[in-house]
Amino acid sequence: MGTFAQLYYGADNATTRSQVITDQLLDDGYFDPTGYTGATLVRHNGYDPATFAYRYGFSIDQPNVDNGIFQGGFNYSLTRDFEYGDSSFAANSIDQYWIQTDNVIGHTVFDMGFGASKAAIFNSIDHGPLPQEAIESTVYLSNDRVNWTQAVTERVWLEGFYSDTSVVWDGFVYAVGTGTDATFRYASIIWGGPGALQSDGDNEINGVLGFRSYADLVTTTSTPVSSPVPEPETYAMLLAGLGLLGFTARRRKHTPS
């Protein structure tokens, strides 16, 4: 609790710990993708991901096992599966494939495609401990890819996004926003930085989803709507990448010794 009090309010004390609970900033369950749409990776470490071969990784289902590629690694492979290619393959779906980013703002950019009120960040756990390992990035938001504002972490889902209890690499999911009513179109992710719980020189990003603001829906549709609605591609992507989200059974996170 103290870790998140520090993250949300900049201090760990009885008051801020209580505030975390009061404001319901922690969700002890799985992320619900309803209303979110997949963002597109348009820049990866300063390059166009479709034209520049960059490396991406692959998480394995169990920690510290020999998967025929890399023995003893905690949930991810460093050799053959740490391949070079179109990194949008790994970043544009929420699954076991991930990318790593550098620490330059604006170098790795996801396009929401609309005016978003929040973005959900999905990441992999490559080597404990939790919760630090799950939030080792800082997110910056922009509408023009020139002026960037540090995002505010608004909520954390402690059970991640994958309901299969044998999978331990999916980490937390955390939602960020501007902290105001302002919307954004682009999200830039760097490893470390002031918004990270841990800065160990890398991060593993599965992908990003954007939540379309009500104001953007009203201004871009001919018929007013009463509330944000999920788009069809959200379901297609999540069904393919997230598995069964309907389970409510909790999973025990663990850290290798």
pLDDT at 35: 92
Chain centroid to CA 61: how far?
19
pLDDT at 234: 44
Structure tokens of 99?
Answer: 């990318």
3-state secondary structure of 132: helix
pLDDT at 243: 46
CA distances 37 to 30, 157, 159, 195, 235, Å, are: 17, 18, 20, 23, 9
Q: CA nearest 133: which of 253, 6, 2?
A: 253
Averages of pLDDT over runs of 10 residues in the chain (257 residues) are: 84 91 89 93 92 75 50 44 70 84 97 96 77 87 98 90 73 90 97 89 90 66 37 44 41 41
Half-sphere CA count of 198, side-chain side, radius 13 A: 17
pLDDT at 186: 99
Contact 65/81 with Cβ under 8 angstroms? no
| Count of beta carbons in the 10 Å neighbourhood of residue 257 | 5
pLDDT at 248: 36
Cα–Cα dist 181/113, whole Å? 18
Contact 38/93 with Cβ under 8 angstroms? yes
Contact 131/172 with Cβ under 8 angstroms? yes
Domain limits of the chain?
23-241
Specify the pTM: 0.77
